[in-house]
Structure 1
């Protein structure tokens, strides 16, 4: 089958994949829903729509891992530290969202804006997960 006959991924915005709620402290960034005609090939995306969808999937996976680590960490903390972690996480979410909106603004309105946003969300979330894993490791090694 020639490339021109391949089914096209129908994506309103790949960031819509990000709509799973954060079980941490609130909802994921406000994003429209995505409808994908077929699963994108994230090992070798061929279109901007696929790249956008893959960035959304990458963030969704990073967010899932962050929430798993957060849910492991929270019950190990005394009440006062738990409250501090919740407050820190809320502030971090605001930072993450604002930082990624800024990063996306360089290409605002362009077809790659969802990819830039999704990749930023994934990268920042992966770093936060490493931070939380460090706290968890420290508690587990006491």
Structure 2
């Protein structure tokens, strides 16, 4: 659902996008620098760039929670299970990234591709976090 909203929001903002080009001494400013000037409003992003950045930030928050759950679970396991969790996590990361690259490929070259990728990373990461939290609850 979130991805559908991102797609719809992207289409609306693309149709109304009117960004002037600013040049100073023959250079174009870096968008990352411009974001420092304008506060990012992820409750109501107005451009595809803002949507992409908000999706990335949302994924980063989900990833932080995943790492917290993983770091809590790891020391509770005996050595053999700890090694299996590490191997499983490495395989899961590869799966997540590859799967999300596949999902993004439908929009390759489009400005929405970045938010599709971040949204996929976020959703997949949240599911894995829930799994790790369940392991934490069930392991003594």
Which residue of structure 2 aligns with residue 26 of structure 1?
none
Which residue of structure 1 aligns with residue 3 of structure 2?
none
Which residue of structure 2 aligns with residue 27 of structure 1?
none
Matched, 1:10 2:31: yes
Q: Hey, which of these two has a bigger chunk of helix by percent?
A: 2
Q: CA deviation at 1:40?
A: 1.6
Q: State which drifts further: 41-50 or 79-88.
A: 41-50
TM-score by length of 2: 0.75
Q: Taking CA–CA contacts closer than 8 Å with sequence separation of 6 or more, which of the two structures ends up with the larger relative contact order?
A: 2
TM-score by length of 1: 0.74
Gaps in structure 1 of 5+ consecutive residues = 12-33
* CA distance in 2 between partners of 1:46 and 1:65 (Å): 27
Gaps in structure 2 of 5+ consecutive residues = 1-16, 20-29
Paired residues, number? 113
Output the aligned Cα RMSD: 2.2
